[in-house]
Amino acid sequence: MRNYYGIALVLLLVVSSLLGCSAKAVGEGQGEGPLIMRLAHNQGENHPIHTSLSEFASLVEEKSEGRIDMKVYPGGQLGSEREAIELTQTGAIDFAKVSASTVENFSEEYSIFSLPYLFDGEDHFYKVMNSSIAEELYDETRDIGFRGLTFYDSGTRHFYTKDTPILHPDDLQGLKIRVQPTPTTIEMIELMGGAPTPMPFGEVYTSLQQGVIDGTENNETALTDANHGEVAKEYSFSGHAIVPDILIINEKKWNELTKDQRNLIQEAAEESTVFHKEVWRKAVESAIVKSKENGVTFHEVDKEPFAEAVQPLHEEFAAKESTADYYKEIREMSTEGTKGE
């Protein structure tokens, strides 16, 4: 939840952006100080994505020889992901790292990433994200004030609950399951038979603890870095979604930068994505080990009944205008030829 410090900081950033303080073109030898660029995200400082965003920030500073000074605001101190996107849209901050699912509320095309069992697995995911499909999607939001620069692996999402493992969609009956606040994730839980409870990530721990929700779904690092494993003890490998994190930048700021600055920022972004792949793999392994030590039980699950339950969503996505082409192209790049493996 946002604190007073966060609110004050947001106000300060909004005022300074209105006054144009952070919108100057980078000091190109005019004796000005460095250009300050701000980036917000909602994970803690020990989370792997913070490590990789800090790497991005260092790379930008190095490549610009100190003419760009990056400030990273972790832990949702500037607000939820939705708020971080809004701050980026208005130019109060320059960058945000958010889940691709959150972008669905701004651009329907992005709903493709919340579609359960869209990707066969990690290989299929990386193949698509390293193709021109991802680049097309990054451009979809340019006319609403921001663009995507790169993606970060945020693993595979699975269900976890306080006390009842989710081995079959029937096990979701009557359970309140927190989802990311998007139409697609809400529909997914409804089709599987649970009661969807949309809320921002920062509210999940307390909601689990207080019994507002019975469970949620996320990658394994949420158990350790966000401490969800302290209260949710049953983690079931349903593997229903692989949703990338996306690094976005304010469109106006992007266009005000010089060509060299744009190139160096793009290069730094892509290099941090490669850096993150290994950081992420190790983080997931260690989250599983630590969670087992802390009493979390991991369950293997037959994914087929879950994938069958969400077939209506696949039909919807194959037909609706905003996603039909993306859906077709992504499925054609399937590495296994079957859904939900």
Q: If binding is defined by CB under 6 A, does position 150 make contact with ligand GCU?
A: no
Determine contact, residues 211/232, Cβ cutoff 8 Å.
no
State phi, psi for 154 to the nearest 5 degrees: -125, 25
- Residue number with CB closer to ligand GCU (57 or 242): 242
Identify the residue among 180, 182, 261, 323 touching ligand GCU (CB under 6 A): 180
* Residue of 17, 22, 42, 161 that binds ligand GCU (CB under 6 A): 42
The size of the interface with ligand GCU (CB under 6 A), counted in residues, is 11
Q: Are 273 and 151 contacting, i.e. CB atoms less than 8 angstroms apart? A: yes
Q: Find the shortest distance in angstroms from Cβ 97 to ligand GCU.
A: 7
Residue 70 host element (H or E): strand 68-73
What are the phi and psi torsion angles at 281 (to 5°)? -55, -45
Least separation in angstroms between CB 244 and ligand GCU: 9
Shortest distance in whole angstroms from residue 212 CB to ligand GCU: 16
Residue with Cβ nearer ligand GCU (222 or 310): 222
Cα-only R_g, the chain: 20
- Return the half-sphere exposure (C-beta side, CA atoms, 13 A cut-off) of residue 226: 27
Structure tokens at 182: 């998007």
Centroid of chain to Cα 247: 9
Q: Which of residues 61-120 bind ligand GCU (CB under 6 A)?
A: 81, 98-99
Residues 201-220 as x/- pattern, contact with ligand GCU by CB under 6 A: x----------------xx-
Report the distance separating Cα 322 and Cα 313, nearest Å. 14
Provide DSSP, 137-178. HHHTTGGGTEEEEEEE---EEEEEESS----SGGGGTT-EEE
Helix, strand, or coil (residue 76):
coil
Residue nearest to ligand GCU (CB): 201
Tell whether residue 225 is a contact of ligand GCU (CB under 6 A): no
CA angle 184, 106, 113 (to 5 degrees): 40
Minimum gap (Å) between residue 112 Cβ and ligand GCU:
16
Determine how β-strand 297-300 pairs with β-strand 146-152: unpaired
Quote the CA–CA distance of 96 and 87 in Å, as a whole number: 9
Name the residue nearer to ligand GCU (CB basis): 81 or 104.
81
SS3 30: coil
Q: Based on the shown chain and the rule CB under 6 A, indicate whether residue 238 belongs to the binding site for ligand GCU.
A: no
Q: State the Cα–Cα distance between residues 36 and 22, nearest whole angstrom.
A: 6
Residue 8 CB, shortest distance to ligand GCU, in Å, is 23
Closer CB to ligand GCU, 68 or 188, in the complex: 188
For residues 258 to 297, the per-residue mask of contacts with ligand GCU, x marking binding by CB under 6 A and - elsewhere, is ----------------------------------------
3-state secondary structure of 313: helix
Of 154, 156, 238, 250, the one binding ligand GCU (CB under 6 A) is: 154
Nearest CB to ligand GCU, comparing residues 201 and 327: 201
Q: Which is nearer to ligand GCU, 36 or 72 (CB)?
A: 72
Residue ranges that bind ligand GCU, judged by CB under 6 A: 42, 81, 98-99, 154, 180, 201, 218-219, 222, 245
